[in-house]
Amino acid sequence: MKDSKTLVILSPAFPENEAATYWVPSQQLMVKSLKRNYPELNIIVLAILYPYHTSSYQWNGINITSFNGMHKRKFRRISLWRNIWRKLKSVSNEHNIIGIFSFWCGEFAFIGNRFAKKHSLKHLIWICGQDARKLNKWVRFIRPEEDQLLAMSWSLVNEFYKNHGIKPKYIVSNAIDPQSFPQSTSPAKDIDILGVGSFEPLKRYDLFTGIIKALSSSLPEIKAFHCGIGREKEKIESLIGRLHLKNNLQLLDGKTQEEVLQLMQRTKVFLHTSNYEGFSTVCLEALYAGAHVISFCYPLDHAVPHWHIVNSEEEMKTKALEILQNHRQDYSPVMLYSMDDSANAAMKLFEEESATDNKILYKEQYPILNNYE
């Protein structure tokens, strides 16, 4: 006889241990919130590409199976798919699966969709960012229905529809866990500017560095930090040297989530220079930590206090200078969404026989879950 209800989660990557808080933070929070709010639910996560080992292990009391698929190409890719399918079949034989939840609408959502159709299971896909872009070729193979798609933000609804002709029916927002923030009574705002993210071309930390240089002409003592690792780190270190910014901008490498949140609580301006984002976790965290956020990308369809949208490097510099020179600036925390609400919204879709019959109920009881027909 099969045991209690089980939710299978497919994710390209997942942390290899509980200390790796920097890996796919939104997806970590979603899984934690699902477990916290539904302790009776058996959650099994299949981590396909990362960690770089094949094993089964426990993460915060949740069963994780990793496939080490990052470097498997061509014929080994077919073997990877077979292993995923066998694992899904094994779970299906042993457990009462209520559904499959795929993170990102990509290659492994394709496998999840095929398996769900074959076994008459509900399959939902959380659109998280890059998967909404035109370069994502997997959408044409998945051919998802609108009511299978849960977008992380309003901007991703529009981006996915523009590029793939399918309009996600629901928004299940990215969010934060307020319980993860260090308890602090009005920490000193002694950091002028903070950046957090991987050193990848998309993040444009050369632009970040250039803005610090421009601000230093008006604020010679400006103090800026960056947390993160990545392939362009040496390039940015070299740029810092050429611009003589070693006294103004310090690279702190990778930090735990707790360390990053502590830095955010000391920060006046969080600078987000990425040219594309689905719904950045670090922006949500910075707002709740009491910093002002300045970015080029905006995921919402309404204004949010302390989140400033700019269209150029010059506008970003001007807005940052305006905030930093205002000695009466308000740095109170801004709370947008809790991941507990997002987890509850997602689970309501898995629990109902027909989610589309209950749109009004969802909107009233779970405002974070919206549809846009």
pLDDT (0 to 100) of residue 275: 86
Q: Indicate whether 27 pLDDT > 90.
A: yes
pLDDT (0 to 100) of residue 363: 41
Please compute the mean of the pLDDT values over residues 21-39 and round it to a whole number: 93
Please compute the mean of the pLDDT values over residues 251-278 and round it to a whole number: 92
Tell me 338's DSSP state. Answer: B
The confidence band for 282, taking pLDDT boundaries of 50, 70 and 90, is very high
- Residues 124 and 191 placed together within one structural domain of the fold: no
- Position with higher pLDDT, 115 vs 71: 115
Answer whether residue 236 is part of any domain.
Answer: yes
CA dist 259 and 21 (Å) reads 11
Type of residue at 113: N
- Residues 278 and 153 placed together within one structural domain of the fold: no
The confidence band for 68, taking pLDDT boundaries of 50, 70 and 90, is very high
pLDDT (0 to 100) of residue 358: 36
Answer whether residue 332 is part of any domain.
Answer: no
Secondary structure class of 296 (helix, strand, coil) = coil
- Residues 29 and 153 placed together within one structural domain of the fold: yes
- Residues 182 and 171 placed together within one structural domain of the fold: no
Q: Indicate whether 366 pLDDT > 70.
A: no
Q: Indicate whether 201 pLDDT > 80.
A: yes
- Residues 94 and 206 placed together within one structural domain of the fold: no
- Residues 314 and 187 placed together within one structural domain of the fold: yes
Answer whether residue 85 is part of any domain.
Answer: yes
CB-CB contact of 38 with 347 (8 Å): yes
Answer whether residue 276 is part of any domain.
Answer: yes
Phi first, then psi, for residue 80 (nearest 5°) are -60, -45
pLDDT over 90 for what percent of the chain? 80
The average confidence (pLDDT) of the chain is: 91
Please compute the mean of the pLDDT values over residues 260-289 and round it to a whole number: 94
Please compute the mean of the pLDDT values over residues 121-138 and round it to a whole number: 96
Number of domains in the chain: 2
pTM: 0.88
pLDDT (0 to 100) of residue 104: 97
Tokens of 160: 């996915």
Answer whether residue 330 is part of any domain.
Answer: no
The confidence band for 357, taking pLDDT boundaries of 50, 70 and 90, is very low
User: Could you tell me the residue range of the domain that residue 269 belongs to?
Assistant: 178-324
CATH number at residue 201: 3.40.50.2000
- Residues 204 and 170 placed together within one structural domain of the fold: no
Answer whether residue 361 is part of any domain.
Answer: yes
The confidence band for 2, taking pLDDT boundaries of 50, 70 and 90, is low
Please compute the mean of the pLDDT values over residues 241-246 and round it to a whole number: 96
Element (H, E) at 215: helix 205-216
Tokens of 77: 């890719």
Answer whether residue 333 is part of any domain.
Answer: no
pLDDT over 70 for what percent of the chain? 93
Answer whether residue 334 is part of any domain.
Answer: no
CA dist 64 and 56 (Å) reads 6
Element (H, E) at 366: none
CB-CB contact of 117 with 142 (8 Å): no
Cis-peptide, bond into residue 367, ω within 30° of zero: no
- Residues 197 and 262 placed together within one structural domain of the fold: yes
- Residues 239 and 356 placed together within one structural domain of the fold: no
Encode pLDDT of 307-344 as tens digits: 999 999 999 999 999 999 999 999 999 999 999 999 99
- Residues 162 and 56 placed together within one structural domain of the fold: yes
The residue among 275, 251, 326, 323 whose CA lies nearest residue 130 is 275
pLDDT (0 to 100) of residue 185: 67
pLDDT (0 to 100) of residue 37: 96
Type of residue at 170: Y
pLDDT (0 to 100) of residue 373: 40
Encode pLDDT of 146-166 as tens digits: 999 999 999 999 999 999 999
Residue 372 CA from chain centroid, whole number: 22
Encode pLDDT of 171-189 as tens digits: 999 999 999 998 876 789 9
CB-CB contact of 257 with 22 (8 Å): yes
Secondary structure class of 186 (helix, strand, coil) = coil
pLDDT (0 to 100) of residue 133: 95
- Residues 65 and 116 placed together within one structural domain of the fold: yes
- Residues 191 and 233 placed together within one structural domain of the fold: yes
